[in-house]
Each structure stands twice: as structure tokens, then as C-alpha cells.
Amino acid sequence: MVEVTAAMVRDLRDKTGAGMMDVKKALVENGGDAEAAIDWLRKKGLAAAAKKSGRVAAEGLVGTATGPQVGALVEINAETDFVARNELFQTFVAEVAGLVLSVGDDVETLKAATYPGTTHSVQDELTRLIATIGENMTIRRAKRLAVPSGVVATYVHSAIKPGLGKIGVIAALEAASELEALETLGRQIGMHVAAARPDSLDVSAVDPSALEREKAVLTEQARASGKPDAIIEKMVEGRVRKYYEEVVLLEQVWVHDGESRVKAVVQKAGAKLTGFARFQLGEGIEKQTSDFAAEVAAAAGTV
């Protein structure tokens, strides 16, 4: 019997996109013959994922999950919005979001974790799903937040099912307050974050390079006024404060009343906001666009 090595499994997995256990079985069944193993996988529909791996996946779903003092976000992409309405895909996103609670938010660790109710990995389950549905899919990112006491609340904007949608937010609140009230505040913060899109939690967390770029722009704008340097410095300070109000969550105006600061709302509740995360489906992914008429004409050899 031919020994199936880890290198053989890795090489065939890279070629086919099939799951590790499926690849190993294919090699064992075919005496280590890689080409025969590929045919075996193709016949079973397990190598179909490889043909789809190059397609841009910018649709899909964002999923959320919560447990005692912990919350999670995950974004799983597919090629078309149609897949987001597929129950198999929805179940997969919900299960993976739940796994983030215990496994953590490192994507590679998440892929290697055992998929609930099976003996195979999350990545293997994803590969099977790709073969079944017929679209490229990727686990793009995940985030886990936890607090020693309090809640990690979730909010999904325009949810298609509980915990599933295109914009998801988690907000970590530390407090000894009554949990129901804290959950309500957390959900309100989630709604605020979804709408206001802050970049950082507090002033200290603002990206220094982004702040320096902003100061440089503000300084040049102030200089254009022809004012003395002392006045320019005060103008820049005022504009930096305005910048903080735009990008820092705790400095933003509370969207629910249009006048309070988020930090004042949190303080009034006797809580401390220790972290947040906002995932918007497909943000930052360069989507491919095409001229269908031009493609048809090119295929016909007319252009």
C-alpha cells in the first residue's frame, strides 16, 4: 500500500480546492496517483471549488453571535446576493459566527476548527458548500469581544434573519448595571455605530498617521486665510476637535437625540464602553465590473 504523505495531501488540496480529509481519501483510494485522485474528486463533485476560487466574492452575509460577556462578528463572502438567501449558506454563517465565540477571531484558526455536528473542519465544510451551491465563497474576517462583567451587545441592520445581514455591529459594555438595560444601551450603540461609522473608540486610538495627514491638510487650509501663525494654530486645534467628533465613537453626537455625546450617554448609564466592531459586507473589496454586450461581441469575434 502506497504511503500517503502530508506533502501529497497538501499538493492535491492546492490543485483541487477540496477538503483535506476528502483529498486524503482520494489518494488512498487511488494508490497515491494524483491524477486519478483528481478524477475521483471530480466525480464526487468535491473538486468543483477549485474552478471557482479565482472569482471575486463580495456579496454574502455578516453574522453575529453572543454568549455570556462575549460577542462575535463574522463576514463570509459569496459571488452573488442570491446566495445570501440560500438556507444552507445562512446556516453556515450562523454556525461559524457561533464558533468565533469559543475559537476566537483568527481566520486560519477558525477554518481549522471542527465544524459543529461533524468530524471535519470549517474549511472542509466551506469547500463542500462551494461545490453544492456553485459559487466561490470565502471566510473574510471575524471579530470577538469579551468583558469581565457586563454585555457584548449586537446589532444587525436590516437583518434577513436574526443575527444575519449586510451590516453587523458588536459593542462591549462593562458595568454592574442590570443586564437588560445594558443590552438595550448596547443595541442603541450598535445602531449608532452602523449609522455614524466611527473609526476608533477614543482619541488615544486614532491612527497617528491619519491624524498627521489631517493636521497637514487643516494647516494648509488655515494658512490660506492669511492669518498669523498663532491664530492658525488655534484654528487647527479647533478643526482637529471637529475631526475627532467625526471619527471617534465616544466623541460623536449621539444619533438618537442629536445633541448628547456618546461618552456622556455611556457615563450616565454607569457603564464603560471598552470596544466595538463594525462589519459592512464587501467593504474594501474591489468588485469586478463588465460590459455584457461587449463580452458577447468579443466572443462573437466582432470587436
Per-residue pLDDT tens digits of the chain, which is 303 residues long: 678 888 888 878 767 767 778 888 889 988 888 888 887 776 666 655 554 444 555 789 999 999 999 999 999 999 888 899 999 999 999 999 999 999 999 999 999 999 999 999 999 999 999 988 888 899 999 999 999 999 999 999 989 999 999 999 999 999 986 788 899 999 999 999 999 999 999 999 988 888 888 888 888 877 887 878 788 888 888 888 888 898 999 999 999 999 999 999 999 999 999 999 999 998 877 555 444 455 445 545 544
Q: Tell me the HSE value of 265 on the side-chain side, using a 13 A CA sphere.
A: 24
Residue 250 is given by DSSP the state: G
Report the pLDDT value the prediction gives residue 80, as an integer from 0 to 100: 86
**The whole model's pTM is what?**
0.74
Report the pLDDT value the prediction gives residue 302, as an integer from 0 to 100: 46
Report the pLDDT value the prediction gives residue 36, as an integer from 0 to 100: 84
Joined grid coordinates for residue 295: 463580452
Report the pLDDT value the prediction gives residue 297, as an integer from 0 to 100: 52
Highest CATH level, class, for 6-52:
mainly alpha
Decide if 96 contacts 62 (C-beta within 8 A). Answer: no
Tell which CATH architecture fits domain 207-246: Orthogonal Bundle (1.10)
Report the pLDDT value the prediction gives residue 34, as an integer from 0 to 100: 85
Report the pLDDT value the prediction gives residue 39, as an integer from 0 to 100: 76
Please give the CATH number for the structural domain made up of 59-196+270-280. Answer: 3.30.479.20
Q: Could you tell me which of 159, 233, 250, 152 has the C-alpha nearest to residue 199? A: 250
Indicate if the alpha-carbon torsion angle 186, 253, 164, 114 is positive or negative. Answer: negative
Domain parsing of the chain, residue ranges: 6-52, 59-196+270-280, 207-246
Report the pLDDT value the prediction gives residue 178, as an integer from 0 to 100: 74
Joined grid coordinates for residue 254: 449621539
The Cα–Cα gap between 46 and 38 comes to: 9
Report the pLDDT value the prediction gives residue 287, as an integer from 0 to 100: 59
Report the pLDDT value the prediction gives residue 65, as an integer from 0 to 100: 98
Report the pLDDT value the prediction gives residue 77, as an integer from 0 to 100: 93
**Total H helices, total E strands in the chain:** 12, 7
The Cα–Cα gap between 266 and 277 comes to: 17
- State which H helix or E strand residue 75 sits in: strand 70-78
Based on its alpha-carbon atoms, the radius of gyration of the chain, rounded to whole angstroms, reads: 25
Torsions phi, psi for 115 (to 5 deg): -70, 135
